Amino acid sequence: MGRKIYLDGNMVPENEARISVFDIGFMYGATVYESLRTFRHKIFKMDEHLARLERSLRYIGLEPGAIIGEVADAVKKVLSANIHLTDKDDDVWMCAQVTPGKGFPHPVLKQTDYRPTIIVFDTNMPYADYVRYYSEGAGIVTTRVRNISPEVIDCRVKHRSRLHFFLAKREAMAQDPDAYAVLMDGNGNISEATGANFFTVSGNKLYTPPEKNILVGISRQTVIGLAGEMNIPVVEKDMNLYDVYNSDEAFLTTSSYCILPISRVNGVKTGAGKPGAVTNKLLDAWSETVGVDIVEQARRFSGI
């Protein structure tokens, strides 16, 4: 019995989870979403994710009240329906998406169905994609493609109008096949990776781009919290490649891998060219907090 997906109020088999081609999420990229993961089979920082989703909904003009409730329920349902497929020491990644509903052919002005489309699905953790970077460090390419301006869509909204992320990923892969893409903002400062936040370590301090030009990740806030507990100062400031080439360490944060050490940026070695001491300490602290050895779990269940 395979995975089930929550779709418009129903639990449907994964391979039957399809949406109308007239859905505004598909026609306008007008989907807002959250990306979550479990630790020990519990959703990590559920409240923070729902609060951010609420802000995204309000920004795109959907009344958050009922939607947030339905999403919270759906997350529980999906977890309860599928968790038996997951080893007790393994975990899952989950995605909750909301679109404004259906409209055709002129969304908004003549929307045909105002009921939001709500989709929640989970999947195995994609350990194989990144597990080796815990020891090797991953590569980053900073792309020509720039991040979208807040005058167009505020970066703090987690949405799916991300053709520029798709383009940035392709551009990064063309230069360094395994590298992650990092976009600059309109002024040439580092903004964010496509779905992850960026940190450097210099002289035992953490540096990360300020909130104005990024999706403010729950994982980013987790790292800032852990650093606080470990008395590592965190400085939010605009950074460019001068900062990166002269930093001791660098890493990305996102909900799946939590913290991913970076060992090269645009082909240039970062610090010692391998995961740094502060990066590893933060990763250890995170593991301790959630009661899961994050790296060990990824190795054990990566299937590699």
Q: Which of residues 162-221 bind its own copies (CB under 8 A)?
A: 162-167, 169-171, 173-175, 184, 186-188, 212
Task: With beta carbons less than 8 A apart as the criterion, state whether 111 and 33 touch.
Answer: no
Q: Which of 139-166 are b and which e, b meaning 16 or more Cβ less than 10 Å from the residue's Cβ?
A: bbbbbebebbeeeeebbbbbbbebebbe
Reference 250, options 304, 188, 194, 208; nearest CA is: 208
Nearer to its own copies, 47 or 288 (CB): 47
70 binds its own copies (CB under 8 A): no
Q: In what order do the strands lie in the sheet with 4-7?
A: 10-13, 4-7, 117-124, 92-99, 32-39, 42-43
Give the shortest CB-215-to-its own copies separation in angstroms.
12
Q: 169-183: string of b/e by CB count within 10 Å (b at 16+)?
A: bebbeeebeebbbbb
User: For residues 15-54, which are near its own copies according to CB under 8 A?
Assistant: 17-21, 23-31
Among 3, 50, 91, 97, interactor with its own copies by CB under 8 A: 97
Q: Which residues pair with 96 in a beta bridge?
A: 34, 120
304 touching its own copies, by CB under 8 A = no
Q: Which of 17/81 has CB closer to its own copies?
A: 17
Site for its own copies in 225-264 (CB under 8 A): 237-238, 240-242, 245-246
Pick 150 or 225: Cβ nearer its own copies: 150
Nearer to its own copies by Cβ, of 10 and 230: the residue is 10
- Binding its own copies (rule: CB under 8 A), the pick from 145, 214, 260, 285 is 145
